[in-house]
């Protein structure tokens, strides 16, 4: 691997940037509160790309570095929009809320290229994957509308039980704070934001710590599509999130990121039982490779599972337990596959390994690998763990043991720890001992051997993948975790549930009550008590 290779990978020449990724310096001063695009006159945050251009780290632009004052102004705005559940948004008929979301989808689609370009520069996700993230998000929003219609169909009839008539629907919970991660800065924020909104909750979005300028082209779309105060967008960091929670007026925290950050945030809320948390947290998804594994298939899934977007996915395979009889073959094939992974700028055709956006990440990975090697592990691929600037060559680390930090820590980067086992119980015990429980993968061809693992594993993690890498999608599938990996379940339909609560209007079946309810329904006097059918 030559110096020049690394240089062109993270430090391209200005002239080599393709037109579709060309991005002028961005001077963003706006933020959205109470339906108003406000102009910020205070301190600005300089947003840096992990890419260097002509040898200097590229400054993408600036955005507002908001403070407690703006955080509390946003709280005022969502509180007013909620109005103790009497606001226009929480009481609006579903078809009207759906119309607002559909209007937003059209406005959002119009700025796709601009959002994608910014995502490329801010997080260095490969260009095609940035486009896929945007399109997947739009598909998710449309599917959310359909799921809401399905949910409403079930709720639009009365239930009669024990002489009591009831209409059971899902009602909003109140103001929500949504915060997504840097690795899916658009998708993972929107998969909480839009379900929260469509169920009637006014929302504050705090943009991800990396991947924030891509929200700027969406500000006008939010302002134009939703009533005042229903969506509020803040740039900033913890000093924006903490005052909102400390105000006690946020009822739902939707957060995707580390459990440390989630714990640090939620404790600021003065009424812990009032705050509902929807959390997607750390994971250390394990792959167990059985003696009967089809190694070609296994390594193909393993490489994609561990190294897509540099391993920066919460669902990435983050540790491999490989039977000793197949270890050498696994490592040889994995090493060969890494050697073929295209590496470099996010716009390079077919690129898989790109510069890392988190400041200090390269050194953090180096520390994990060095410590493992000092304790007896070895790097099993040529050039593994070498780096320059923000570009880190994937390290396949063999002979990892439970004493090493690499065994327990979520590396969230292109480092692949491999543990060799002789009895599958060792692998299972390690999964049980892990504080995380999102997903796992089993690789094997013998149904008996696979079945023997499935039953114990489904009580450790929330998705067991057979001969397949871990992943969130398809988005209609439940996405959650046990132990320290999640709170609440997300999927197109589950997300509608976590941002709402089953609520009913009930009446004993007296002739007076029947007359009252029937009058209300017939003359459409209530938005809740209604048998209207959404088409």
Residues forming contacts to ligand G3H in the complex (CB under 6 A) are 183-184, 188, 313-315, 471-473
Of residues 327 and 411, the one with the C-beta less far from ligand G3H: 411
Q: How far is the CB of 297 from ligand G3H (least distance, A)?
A: 19
To the nearest whole angstrom, how small is the minimum distance from the Cβ of residue 407 to ligand G3H? 21
- Report, in angstroms and rounded to the nearest whole number, the Rg of the chain calculated over CA atoms: 25
* Nearest approach, Cβ of residue 490 and ligand G3H (Å): 9
Closest to ligand G3H by CB, 381 vs 471, is 471
Supply the DSSP symbol for 169. Answer: E
Smallest distance, Å, CB 188 to ligand G3H?
6
Would you say 400 and 418 are in contact if contact means Cβ atoms under 8 Å apart?
yes
Which CB atom, from 94 or from 115, has the smaller least distance to ligand G3H? 115
To 10 degrees, the CA torsion angle through 102, 35, 82, 245?
110
- Report in angstroms how near the CB of residue 208 gets to ligand G3H at its nearest: 12
**Does the N-terminal peptide bond of residue 474 adopt cis geometry, omega within 30 degrees of 0?**
yes
Smallest gap from residue 134 Cβ to ligand G3H (A): 14
Nearer to ligand G3H, 313 or 361 (CB): 313
Q: Looking up tokens 């490592």, which residue turns up?
A: 331
- Beta sheet of 159-161, edge-to-edge order: 159-161, 164-172, 500-508
Least distance between ligand G3H and beta carbon 136 (Å): 8
Question: Exposed, middle or buried: residue 470 (CB in 10 Å: 0-12, 13-18, 19+)?
Answer: buried
Query: 3-state class of 338 per DSSP?
Result: helix
Q: Do 204 and 250 touch, CB atoms closer than 8 A?
A: yes
Three-class SS of residue 525? Answer: coil
Give the residue with the Cβ less far from ligand G3H, 269 or 463: 463
Select 115 or 290, whichever has its Cβ closest to ligand G3H.
Answer: 115
Phi, psi of 530 (to 5 degrees): -160, 145
CB of 302 to ligand G3H, least distance (A): 15
d(CA 192, CA 147): 14
**Which residue has tokens 């929107």?**
190
Encoded tokens for 424: 């599958």
- Nearest CB to ligand G3H, comparing residues 71 and 471: 471
Entry field: residues in the chain = 535
Q: Quick one: tokens of 436?
A: 């995380």
Instruction: Return the number of the residue (192 or 335) whose C-beta is nearest ligand G3H.
Output: 192
Helix, strand, coil percent values for the chain (each to nearest 5): 40, 20, 35
């Amino acid at each position: 691997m030559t110096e020049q290779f690394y240089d062109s990978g993270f430090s391209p020449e200005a002239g080599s940037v393709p037109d579709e990724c060309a991005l002028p310096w961005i001077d963003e001063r706006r933020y959205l509160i109470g339906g108003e695009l406000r102009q910020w006159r205070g301190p600005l945050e300089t947003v840096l790309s992990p890419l260097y251009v002509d040898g200097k780290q590229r400054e993408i632009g600036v955005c507002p570095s908001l403070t407690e004052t703006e955080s509390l102004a946003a709280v005022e705005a969502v509180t007013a929009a909620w109005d103790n559940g009497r606001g226009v948004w929480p009481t609006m008929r579903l078809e009207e809320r759906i119309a607002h979301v559909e209007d937003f989808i059209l406005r959002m689609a119009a700025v796709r290229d601009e959002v994608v370009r910014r995502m490329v520069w801010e997080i260095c996700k490969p260009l095609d994957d940035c486009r896929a993230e945007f399109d997947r998000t739009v598909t998710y929003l449309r599917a959310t509308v359909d799921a809401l219609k399905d949910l409403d169909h079930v709720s639009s009839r009365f239930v009669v039980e024990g002489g009591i008539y009831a209409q059971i629907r899902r009602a909003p919970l109140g103001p929500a704070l949504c915060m997504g991660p840097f690795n899916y800065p658009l998708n993972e924020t929107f998969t909480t934001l839009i379900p929260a909104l469509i169920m009637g909750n006014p929302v504050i979005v705090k943009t991800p710590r990396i991947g924030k300028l891509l929200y700027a082209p969406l500000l006008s779309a939010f302002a134009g599509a939703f009533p005042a105060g229903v969506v509020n967008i803040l740039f900033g960091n913890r000093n924006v999130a903490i005052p909102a929670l400390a105000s006690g007026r946020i009822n739902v925290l939707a957060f995707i990121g580390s459990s440390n950050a989630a714990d640090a945030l939620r404790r600021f809320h003065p009424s812990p039982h009032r705050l509902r948390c929807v959390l997607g947290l750390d994971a250390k998804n394990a792959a167990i490779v059985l003696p009967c594994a089809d190694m070609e298939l296994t390594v193909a899934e393993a490489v994609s599972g561990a190294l897509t977007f540099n391993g920066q996915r919460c669902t990435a395979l983050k540790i491999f337990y490989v039977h000793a009889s197949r270890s050498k073959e696994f490592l040889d094939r994995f090493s060969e596959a890494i050697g073929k992974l295209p590496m470099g700028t996010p716009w390079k055709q077919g690129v898989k390994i790109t510069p890392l956006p988190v400041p200090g990440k390269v050194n953090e990975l180096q520390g994990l690998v060095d410590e493992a090697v000092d304790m007896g592990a070895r790097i099993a691929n040529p050039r593994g763990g070498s780096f320059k600037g923000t570009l880190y060559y994937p390290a396949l680390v063999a002979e990892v043991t439970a004493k090493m930090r690499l065994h327990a820590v979520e590396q969230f980067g292109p480092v692949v720890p491999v543990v060799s086992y002789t009895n599958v119980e060792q692998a299972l015990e390690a999964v049980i001992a892990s504080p995380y429980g999102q997903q796992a993968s089993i690789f094997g061809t013998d149904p008996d051997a696979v079945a023997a693992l499935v039953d114990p594993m489904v009580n450790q993690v929330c998705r067991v993948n057979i001969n397949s890498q871990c992943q969130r999608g398809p988005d209609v599938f439940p996405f959650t975790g046990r132990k320290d990996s999640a709170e609440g379940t997300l999927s197109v339909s589950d997300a509608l549930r976590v941002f709402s609560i089953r609520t009913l209007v009930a009446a004993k079946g007296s002739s007076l009550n029947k007359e009252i309810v029937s009058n209300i329904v017939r003359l459409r006097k209530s938005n809740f008590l209604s048998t209207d059918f959404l088409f």
